[in-house]
């Protein structure tokens, strides 16, 4: 009779695969990717486009599409959107700049959401504890479109933070992207117009755009303060249901 030898290599390979695909390994990969992206931004300094201009060999619709792709990647790497919106207006004008900025906004939000959902949700979701975190997670999970629309309309929460918080919640990507696209229009348009008219800072259109930015910023601060008060007064936990 022949003795069966246990397949140790296969078992070792399976254990290595499970370790590499574990929630904390995927979270570590996400952190490395974000750190690499932020490092590339610091090295290549894409904000120089505002002063040096877009490469002359790329123009027309192709330039707008390329700018939208670069915009989306830069937002994943924590580049502030106001800077990119101003660049869009300065490079392409109000109309094409708005198209490029909105396209980049939706693209960047989608990339960040997918990265956070695939690489970070399993590891970070068990850490959502405490009154405020649970209340915020409940808002994002149960009122996805409304919560994200408010976050985009009233600036206050950093763009990247809203993206990754939404990815950790139970929100689906469709209402997330729809709310991002609709809610980002007013503030993005104001920054793009300001960038397009930056050469004439005393013009009425520039002053209106800057006034809108200031008003929405103040409104966002008020909304955040009121929401903070509501979250603080909510019950800390709901009674758990027994099986």
Torsion of CA 213, 214, 220, 222, to 10 degrees: -160
* pLDDT tens, residue by residue, 105-159: 999 999 999 998 888 777 777 666 656 566 667 778 888 898 899 889 877 778 9
Mean pLDDT check: name the lowest of 23-27, 145-149, 168-172, 228-232.
Answer: 228-232
* pLDDT tens, residue by residue, 181-199: 999 999 999 999 999 998 8
Contact 108, 76 (CB under 8 A): yes
Percent of the chain at pLDDT exceeding 70: 74
Residue 10 vs residue 139, higher pLDDT = 139
Residue 36 is predicted with a pLDDT of 85
Residue 16: pLDDT band with limits 50, 70, 90: low
Residue 179 vs residue 50, higher pLDDT = 179
Q: Hey, which bits of the chain come out as E strands?
A: none
d(Cα 187, Cα 154) in Å, to the nearest integer? 8
Domain ranges of the chain: 22-233
DSSP state for residue 202 in the 8-state scheme: T
Contact 141, 169 (CB under 8 A): yes
């Amino acid at each position: 009779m022949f003795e069966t030898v246990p397949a140790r290599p296969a078992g070792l390979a399976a254990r290595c695969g499970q370790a590499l695909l574990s929630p904390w390994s995927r979270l570590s990969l996400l952190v490395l990717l974000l750190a690499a992206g932020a490092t590339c931004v610091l090295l290549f300094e894409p904000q120089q486009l505002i002063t040096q201009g877009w490469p002359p060999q790329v123009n027309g619709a192709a330039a707008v599409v390329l700018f939208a792709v670069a915009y989306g990647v830069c937002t994943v790497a924590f580049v502030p959107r106001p800077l990119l919106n101003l660049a869009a207006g300065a490079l392409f004008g109000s109309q094409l700049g708005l198209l490029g900025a909105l396209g980049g906004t939706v693209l960047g939000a989608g990339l960040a959401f997918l990265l956070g959902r695939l690489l970070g949700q399993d590891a970070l979701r068990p850490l959502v504890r405490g009154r405020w975190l649970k209340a915020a997670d409940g808002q994002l999970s149960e009122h996805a479109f409304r919560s994200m629309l408010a976050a985009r309309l009233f600036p206050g929460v950093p763009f990247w933070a809203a993206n990754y918080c939404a990815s950790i919640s139970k929100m689906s990507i469709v209402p997330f992207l729809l709310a991002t696209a609709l809610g980002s229009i007013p503030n993005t348009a104001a920054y793009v117009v300001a960038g397009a008219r930056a050469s004439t800072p005393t013009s009425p259109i520039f002053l209106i755009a800057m006034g809108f930015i200031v008003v929405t910023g103040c409104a966002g601060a008020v909304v955040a303060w009121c929401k903070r008060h509501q979250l603080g007064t909510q019950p800390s936990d709901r009674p758990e249901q027994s099986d």
